[in-house]
Structure 1
Amino acid sequence: MPPPLFSNRLASIKGIRLPGSSSGWDINIVYSSDTCHGTIASITPHDSSDNVETSQPPLVLPALTHPHIHLDKAFVHSAPRYAHLLPLAGTFQEALSFTTEAKSDFTIPDLLTRGEWLLAESVSSGVTAMRAFVEVDHIVQLKCLDAAVTLKDQWSNACEIQIVCFAQDPIFSSEFGEENMRFIERALTLYPQIDVIGTTPYVESSIEAAKKNISWAIDRAMQLGKHVDFHLDYNLDPAKEALVWYLLGTLTRRGWTTRSSLKRVMLGHCTRLSLFNEEEWLQISRTIHENDLPVSFVGLPTSDLYMAAPPQQNAEGKPRGTLKVSEMIRKYNLDAVIGVNNVGNAFTPWGSADPLNLACLGVGIYQAGTQADADLLYECVSTRARAAIGLSLSNQSSIMKKGDRPDLILFRDRDDTGCGISRPRTSVAEIVWDPPARITRDLVAQGRLNTSRGTHYDAEPVYQYL
């Protein structure tokens, strides 16, 4: 159970800076009687006679989002009970094997402890929404799901957790496929808290079984009115059929758009697509737009760069592949975001739970060094990411607007060096190029200020309470 993290409702936040503006602004918040969530009622010029002045007005940006993160496998490397499962070879097959072994030792207390580590580090970074994958199969059965439901409830005031009932293992092949499927179906029957059906078609033993996996997940999601999320085409082998074509065709044939209301489809990893030529990308774009398919792609670069490599017999060295997210958005008009995926396990032993570090990494991966690039990368871990998982339908900009939900971060001019010296960040680009420490970030979630770092936050005049 997390400690009390948030203040009373805020009426306004005064004297702040918005991206691209040197003027001061006030954000005013209203609350409806039928919901606990507030709404930004207006953003008005700041009246300097209010006596709310700081040495450097805080820059306000939308809160962050994890569009794809594994809750149950987080920080396995930090738990002493799994010390014998640290990577030896660093391969994908080893990660699968070691994770399967670790899963056999999962307990509810262990899952809750590691899940809280992930949530605490995410929320302190500024995350207020996440799509969380939890595995359901013959090994863990429903344990991971039980822990996720508990965490979803306990952390609901801080972070909206969208639970994915996730089939990491085969459901149409292997000796355990049928048993895995039985647990998945049982979970979908018993847990209304499940928001998303997730599968991994590429783990099936044949291309035919992989296509059955895709068809089943789409059909079941449509029947139950849930989002669907695929780990797809996670390879760099040009000889392998790219399953994205079958998936898009199945969505079209099944009439997803006309029958599934506002539910969305997410495609994760898709490293095989990084080998596509111009015509193949244009065809993907045409297929999605002509059939009005609500498809988003999520690049997972910390995992992809570590794991995805071509077959060794065909490789001269070890090139890596990950989706070219910036290009997909700008050149092909596709919906794409970036996500953390794994933290502290054999699939991704490096990196943190802070999405801003991922946006920073994107500058180098995509050679995206302009201020406009920085704006886009910030959106890919905030507003675009939130929309991609179906939690927002309107504003995808990094600039807060009237009508937005008051989930936001104030980047404050605080010394994080211990030297009595601070360097303010006054633009989105400065935030993305060199993310400031968590201690400089004030998080407002659902119109409430995170005061966990000290009660003095409550007393700061920038925050006005109801």
Structure 2
Amino acid sequence: MHDLVLRRARITDGPSGPGQDGGLVDIAVSGGLIAAIEPTGDPGTAAAAREEIDCAGLVVIPGLIESHLHLDKALLDRERPNLAGTLAGAIAVTGELKRGFTHDSVRRRSVRVLEQAVANGTTLIRAHPDVDPIAGLTGLEVMLELREQYAELVELQVVAFPQEGIERAPGTLDLLREALRRGADVIGGCTYNEADPDACRRHIDTVFALATEFGVPVDLHADFADDADDPRFALAEYIADATEQHGLQGRVAIGHATSLSGRHRADRARVLARLAETGVAVVPLPATDLHLGGRNDDTAVRRGIAPVRELWEAGVTTAYSSNNVRNAFTPFGNADLLDIGLLLAQTCHLGSPADQQRILAMATTEAARVVGIADRYGLRPGAQADLVVLGTERLADVLLDRPDRRWVLKRGRVVARTTRSTELLVPQPA
């Protein structure tokens, strides 16, 4: 007998056929894993269970993955907004606010957004707490604590992230080492936040050396500018070379990468091919990238996002994420990946049904590759039963409908429910 069966679930928009109940399936869960997926009505292994959920034709997707989220800096906009609206302004404002961080204040803000993300269908978060002489290890310590305390609701990967640079902030390297010794899952980097291009390359070299020493993946903030005129924001190829040299293919991600869109087409194609060849993933962060971009333009103001369609065509693993929620970098957001996906579709000329389904994959199966869990993820027998039942009956309409997350499951257990009712009050005909 199974622990749970999701009855009459829709996992594709394929045509219905005789005896298939409109193409619906039953998803059986045992021991936290998907045990079977059988057409509804078939006398298969999904027949008996201790608990059942009738999806009644609603769409079921794998759990959403926030592959790049700064929980420690969330909700700071109430304390001090970034009036300049620039990346430099965001770093400066946040640097000042970090001086007042305490364990309790970071935890309180982080928990609020983490729980919001879970309610919105997120089952894994890769969190990037700042590790530097200003914040010390406060954010990292909170994330490690939450990783244990919230393990039954959401998987938390913790990135040791040197927001202030490494050479620019003496003492950061020692803090990064300590963060990795304490159990950080990933080594981060902020490649552009050094004094000159040579220092930026040394920053990358240091990050990759730490990744090799501690056996962890790499997740870099890189090439976050409107164009690549400043060589500090044209380091994607250098990152690809470092990935190959250190044998980390498939274990490196670049967040932002907006300056790729500002390169000439032939140059861009060459760089994208190199990223694909070395297995370096790119994670656009549209809410932040749109907000901070083009601040020095007086006409034809740019709103750069990494060239998503070209990344797809080049074969680069591509996800997207919320990045920040209501702070100096992004004064918007609810930790809702479907909202971010719709924003990406609207701003990157990705309007076809096929495009929108690919965007959904960027927050699910593609993101799983970015964070290294593809071998245990997805809608298939043997995968971990991290699932979301959405309040819509067509997979193609998931982004457009902004559906309720009716049930969110982590390892086969319901961890969040959302039910809403709408009543239209109209005069009744005589």
Taking structure 2 as the reference length, the TM-score comes to: 0.88
Conserved in 2, the CA contact under 8 Å of 1:129 and 1:386? no
Structure 1 counterpart of 2:91, from 66, 91, 96: 96
| CA distance in 2 between partners of 1:108 and 1:53 (Å) | 39
Structure 2 residues without counterparts, runs of 5 or longer: 15-21, 420-430
**Which residue of structure 2 aligns with residue 123 of structure 1?**
118
| CA distance in 1 between partners of 2:341 and 2:375 (Å) | 22
SS in 1 for 2:230: coil
SS in 2 for 1:338: coil
**Which residue of structure 2 aligns with residue 377 of structure 1?**
359
**Which residue of structure 2 aligns with residue 443 of structure 1?**
408
Structure 2 counterpart of 1:252, from 244, 247, 262: 244
Instruction: Give the superposition deviation at 1:133.
Output: 0.3
SS in 1 for 2:171: helix
Instruction: Give the superposition deviation at 1:272.
Output: 0.8
Deviation sequence 1:58-81 (CA, Å, 0-9, x none): 221111010100010011124xxx
**Which residue of structure 1 aligns with residue 369 of structure 2?**
387
Cα distance change, pair 327–97 in 1 and its aligned pair in 2 (3 A): same
Instruction: Give the superposition deviation at 1:284.
Output: 2.5
SS in 2 for 1:402: coil
The letter of the residue matching 2:318 is A
| CA distance in 1 between partners of 2:54 and 2:126 (Å) | 36
Please give the root-mean-square deviation of Cα atoms over the aligned residues, in Å. 2.3
**Which residue of structure 1 aligns with residue 174 of structure 2?**
182
Instruction: Give the superposition deviation at 1:243.
Output: 1.0
Deviation sequence 1:22-70 (CA, Å, 0-9, x none): 3331111232xxxxxx221211122299898969422211110101000
**Which residue of structure 2 aligns with residue 87 of structure 1?**
82
Deviation sequence 1:184-238 (CA, Å, 0-9, x none): 222223x12x110101011101111100000110111011100111110111234
**Which residue of structure 2 aligns with residue 211 of structure 1?**
201
| CA distance in 2 between partners of 1:119 and 1:104 (Å) | 23
| CA distance in 2 between partners of 1:136 and 1:340 (Å) | 20
SS in 1 for 2:310: helix
Instruction: Give the superposition deviation at 1:429.
Output: 2.1
| CA distance in 2 between partners of 1:104 and 1:53 (Å) | 48
| CA distance in 1 between partners of 2:139 and 2:334 (Å) | 22
| CA distance in 2 between partners of 1:91 and 1:276 (Å) | 21
The letter of the residue matching 2:311 is M
The letter of the residue matching 1:170 is G
Cα distance change, pair 372–186 in 1 and its aligned pair in 2 (3 A): same
SS in 2 for 1:256: coil
SS in 2 for 1:199: strand
The letter of the residue matching 1:271 is T
The letter of the residue matching 1:276 is R
Instruction: Give the superposition deviation at 1:97.
Output: 1.5
Structure 1 counterpart of 2:386, from 383, 389, 407: 407
Deviation sequence 1:364-394 (CA, Å, 0-9, x none): 1122222211210111112211221112237
Cα distance change, pair 53–40 in 1 and its aligned pair in 2 (3 A): closer
| CA distance in 2 between partners of 1:48 and 1:389 (Å) | 36
Matched, 1:298 2:286: no
Conserved in 1, the CA contact under 8 Å of 2:237 and 2:275? no
Matched, 1:349 2:331: yes
| CA distance in 1 between partners of 2:24 and 2:172 (Å) | 56
Conserved in 2, the CA contact under 8 Å of 1:374 and 1:429? yes
SS in 2 for 1:26: strand
**Which residue of structure 2 aligns with residue 323 of structure 1?**
306
Matched, 1:368 2:350: yes
| CA distance in 2 between partners of 1:218 and 1:188 (Å) | 13
Alignment of 1:168-179 (within 5 A): 168-173=163-168, 177-179=169-171
Structure 1 residues without counterparts, runs of 5 or longer: 1-8, 32-37, 258-262, 413-424, 455-466
Instruction: Give the superposition deviation at 1:14.
Output: 1.6
| CA distance in 2 between partners of 1:369 and 1:294 (Å) | 27
Conserved in 2, the CA contact under 8 Å of 1:363 and 1:433? no
Matched, 1:23 2:23: yes
Conserved in 1, the CA contact under 8 Å of 2:119 and 2:418? no
Conserved in 2, the CA contact under 8 Å of 1:25 and 1:44? yes
Instruction: Give the superposition deviation at 1:143.
Output: 0.8
Identity of aligned residues (%): 29
The letter of the residue matching 2:10 is R
The letter of the residue matching 1:283 is R
**Which residue of structure 2 aligns with residue 432 of structure 1?**
399
Cα distance change, pair 55–27 in 1 and its aligned pair in 2 (3 A): closer
| CA distance in 2 between partners of 1:25 and 1:127 (Å) | 23
Conserved in 1, the CA contact under 8 Å of 2:226 and 2:259? yes
Deviation sequence 1:84-109 (CA, Å, 0-9, x none): x1233322222112111110111111
Cα distance change, pair 451–288 in 1 and its aligned pair in 2 (3 A): closer
Taking structure 1 as the reference length, the TM-score comes to: 0.81
